[in-house]
């Protein structure tokens, strides 16, 4: 069962969640089948690439969404904005909008590293409402519906929240090459830091307690965090941007977001450490 939402009925939420899960699994199967056999890698920026599998997976997802829910808008990493038939843009914060990252961790994928995810979220009137993050290699499906908790393969999950920050293992994204940020003090304040190359997976791991917190100073886009941010939040973490603002805002431009997810008793200190590190 999924939680009731004031805009969507329980049945509509069930249908939307089932559609997203089915679409993620279809894309994930293709990604696993083609892992290690990428034919084309193109550079989107100095540190970001795209493969033909990104585009194929996105088409599979968008086709599934259009068949099941043809009236909804879509914001997809590779193909951009797809307004509703009435012309409503997904970034307007009105109505229903799907946010899709068909392959989060493309640099890993292009190099044959089996750490990547499929990420699909639904926003309703500008609020993240459901999220699906699939790790197809491990067949691990993370899901959340607002006010309904987070789940891993159908089982409830929750971050236990270690008492001491110094005992915490965190996900820590890289600052950009031209950044003046110094994250040394943050690193020294925790047990250890890891960077998986998939922010969605790191945030989902926060919900499961595999990571105690996740910090990405900047460079994140809505499609990276729309699903996984909700999963982390529903798993008990406090989730904000790295300047303390609400984490989900469809109007923010791509690669402009910093994200911080942590148990409530560590969030303020981690936010302080990120701010002290300087501009990202």
Give 12-54 as a DSSP string. Answer: HHHHHHHHHHHHHHHHHHHHHHHTT----EEESSSS-EEEHHH
The answer to whether residue 5 is domain-embedded is no
Write the CATH number for 233.
3.40.190.80
Q: In the structure, what pLDDT confidence band is assigned to residue 4 with cuts at 50, 70 and 90?
A: very low
How buried is residue 273: exposed, middle or buried, by Cβ count under 10 Å (0-12/13-18/19+)? Answer: buried
Same domain, 191 and 148: no
Q: Residue range 145-165: average pLDDT? A: 97
How many structural domains are present in the chain? 2
Same domain, 91 and 120: yes
Instruction: Note the pLDDT tens digit of each residue in 233-278.
Output: 999 999 999 999 999 999 999 989 999 999 999 999 999 999 988 7
- Which of 157, 189, 214 marks a domain boundary? 157
CA distance 135 to 109: 12
Q: Which of 157, 183, 208 is the last residue of a domain?
A: 157
Contact between residue 89 and residue 75 where contact means Cβ atoms under 8 Å apart: no
Q: Whole-prediction pTM value?
A: 0.93
User: How many Å apart are CA 118 and CA 28, to the nearest integer?
Assistant: 7
Q: What is the model's pLDDT at position 51?
A: 83
Whether the pLDDT of residue 148 is over 50: the answer is: yes
185 and 226 in one domain?
yes
Q: Taking the mean position of all CA atoms in its chain, how far away is CA 79?
A: 18
What's the CATH code of the domain at 142?
Answer: 3.30.540.10
Q: Measured between alpha carbons, how far is 114 from 216 in angstroms, rounded to an integer?
A: 21
Here the tokens at position 61 are 């997802």
- Are 33 and 98 part of one and the same domain? yes
Domain that holds residue 82: 10-157
- Would 37 be classed as within a structural domain? yes
Q: Is residue 1 part of a domain?
A: no
């Amino acid at each position: 069962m999924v939680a009731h939402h004031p805009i969507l009925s329980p049945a509509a939420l069930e249908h939307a969640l089932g559609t997203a899960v089915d679409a993620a699994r279809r894309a994930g199967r293709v990604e696993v089948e083609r892992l290690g056999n990428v034919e084309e890698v193109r550079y989107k920026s100095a540190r970001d690439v795209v493969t033909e599998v990104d585009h194929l997976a996105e088409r599979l997802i968008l086709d599934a969404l259009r068949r099941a829910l043809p009236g909804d808008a879509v914001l997809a990493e590779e193909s951009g904005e797809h307004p509703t038939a009435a012309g409503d843009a997904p970034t307007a914060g009105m109505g229903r909008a799907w946010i899709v990252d068909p392959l989060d961790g493309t640099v890993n994928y292009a190099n044959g590293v089996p750490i990547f995810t499929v990420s699909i979220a639904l926003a309703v009137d500008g609020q993240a409402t459901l999220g699906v993050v699939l790790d197809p290699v491990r067949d691990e499906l993370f899901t959340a519906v607002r006010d309904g908790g987070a789940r891993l393969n159908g089982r409830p999950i929750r971050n236990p929240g270690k008492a001491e920050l110094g005992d915490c293992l965190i996900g820590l994204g890289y600052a950009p090459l031209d950044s003046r940020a110094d994250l040394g003090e943050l690193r020294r304040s925790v047990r250890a830091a890891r960077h998986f190359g998939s922010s969605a997976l790191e945030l989902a791991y926060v919900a499961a307690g595999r990571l105690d917190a996740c910090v990405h100073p900047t460079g994140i886009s809505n499609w990276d965090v729309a699903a996984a941010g909700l999963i982390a939040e529903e798993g008990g973490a406090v989730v904000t941007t790295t300047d303390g603002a609400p984490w989900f805002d469809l109007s923010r431009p791509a690669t402009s977001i910093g994200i911080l997810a942590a148990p409530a008793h560590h969030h303020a200190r981690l936010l302080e450490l990120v701010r002290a590190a300087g501009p990202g």
